[in-house]
Every structure is written in structure tokens, then in C-alpha cells.
Amino acid sequence: MPRVPSRASVAATGTWVDPDGIRAPAGEVHAWLPGTNQTVCGLSLHRARLRRFAHVDWRDVQPSTGRDADEVQVVCPRCAAGMGHRRDSRPWTRHDPRP
Ligand SMILES: [Zn+2]
């Protein structure tokens, strides 16, 4: 990757609508740069069946700080690393390797 993006949106395996009526990500979340067809870790949005959340900032789905992280279960560690976050800050965000 050429550089660490300064800002990213979110792609996730699930979705829910929060009490304010905003569509928010759920399940496993990846960093996604709007205008691209893949996540920061290189997953194809289409093949991985990820939903796009262009209105949600990557920082807002971090369980430690994010306001949109209520339904987030897994933060992709490769995306977190790609976005410059340390993966050892939240041990429960372990990501099972793909088969
Ligand atoms: Zn990812």
C-alpha cells in the first residue's frame, strides 16, 4: 500500500438502524475508502458481501472510542493495522483467518 489513508469509511458484514434512524454497521467491520471496490485489507466488497457505510467514519466503529460501535463484534485487524491502529489495544477483536 502506498500510504496510510488519513480517513476512511466502513464496510461491514451486517447492518442495523440505531435509535436515531441512522444505518450503522454491525458484525465484522473493515476500513473502506469510498470510491474503491475493496477494503483496506484487500477484500472485495462484492465477494465478501460487505455493505458500505459511506456516512460512517472508521474511527466511529472502534469499540474503545466509537459512537457507532454498539453492534460491532469484530474489527478487522489488518484494516486496523492499515489505518495505523495498534491491534493489541483490544484483545477481543481477534480475527479468525480465512480458510
Ligand atoms: Zn479488513
Q: Ligand 1: distance of its center to the CA of 77 in Å? A: 7
- The backbone region for 91, taken as left when phi is positive above 0, alpha when psi lies in -120 to 50, beta otherwise, is alpha
Q: Ligand 1: distance of its center to the CA of 66 in Å? A: 17
**What are the grid coordinates assigned to 53, written together?**
457505510
Residue 94 identity (one-letter amino acid): R
What is the model's pLDDT at position 1? 47
Q: SS3 string of 23-75? A: EEEEEEEEEECCCCCEECCCCECCCCCCEEECCCCHHHHCCCCCCCCCCEEEE
What does the pLDDT look like over 48-76, one tens digit per residue? 999 999 999 999 999 888 888 999 999 99
Q: Ligand 1: distance of its center to the CA of 40 in Å? A: 6
Strand partners, 39: 32
Q: Ligand 1: distance of its center to the CA of 59 in Å? A: 14
95 has pLDDT over 90:
no
Q: Ligand 1: distance of its center to the CA of 57 in Å? A: 14
- pTM of structure: 0.78
Q: pLDDT-based confidence at 96, cuts 50/70/90?
A: low
Q: Ligand 1: distance of its center to the CA of 43 in Å? A: 7
